[in-house]
Structure 1
Amino acid sequence: MSSIIINKAFLEDLEILQAVAKETFMETFSKDNSKEEMDRYIEKSFNKEKLTDELKNPDSFFFIAWEEDQPIGYLKLNSGSAQTELKDESALEIERIYVKSSHHGKKVGQLLYDKALNVTKEQQKSYIWLGVWEENLKAVNFYKKNGFVEFDKHIFRLGNDEQTDLMMKKIIE
Structure 2
Amino acid sequence: MKVETKFVIGNKQGIDTLAFVAVATARQKFAEKISAQELDDYISTNFNQDVLMTELNSLSNQYLIVYLEGQPAGYARVTSKGMRPQIFDGKTLARIADFNILDEYNDEAVIKSLFEKCLSLTARQQATWINEYEFDPFLAFFEAYGFQRRNDIAVSKELVLTSVSLVKEN
TM-score by length of 1: 0.87
> Structure 1, residues 116-171: CA drift from partner, whole Å, max 9, x if none?
111112xx1111101011233x222222222111222322122xxx2221111111
Q: Is the 8 A contact 2:131 2:165 kept in 1?
A: yes
Question: 2:54: which partner in 1?
Answer: 53
Q: Does 1:117 align with 2:116?
A: no
Structure 1 residues without counterparts, runs of 5 or longer: none
Question: 1:140: which partner in 2?
Answer: 139
Q: Is the 8 A contact 2:68 2:105 kept in 1?
A: no
Question: 1:21: which partner in 2?
Answer: 22
Q: Is the 8 A contact 1:153 1:164 kept in 2?
A: no
Distance in 1, Cα, partners of 2:158 & 2:127 = 25
Distance in 1, Cα, partners of 2:22 & 2:135 = 20
**Bigger shift: residues 56-65 or 27-36:** 27-36
Shift of 1:112: 1.1
Q: Which amino acid aligns with 2:55?
A: E
Q: Which has the higher strand share?
A: 1
Question: 1:5: which partner in 2?
Answer: 4
Distance in 2, Cα, partners of 1:30 & 1:10 = 28
Q: Is the 8 A contact 1:20 1:74 kept in 2?
A: yes
Distance in 1, Cα, partners of 2:67 & 2:107 = 16
Distance in 2, Cα, partners of 1:153 & 1:134 = 13
Question: 1:43: which partner in 2?
Answer: 44
> Structure 1, residues 48-93: CA drift from partner, whole Å, max 9, x if none?
11110000001100111112331111111002xx2x3118660110
**Bigger shift: residues 139-148 or 92-101:** 139-148
What is the Cα-based RMSD across aligned positions, in Å? Answer: 1.6
Q: Is the 8 A contact 1:154 1:164 kept in 2?
A: no
Question: 1:165: which partner in 2?
Answer: 163
How many pairs were matched up? 162
SS of the residue corresponding to residue 83 of structure 2 reads: coil
Structure 2 residues without counterparts, runs of 5 or longer: none
**Bigger shift: residues 45-54 or 163-172:** 163-172
Shift of 1:23: 0.4
Distance in 1, Cα, partners of 2:154 & 2:117 = 25
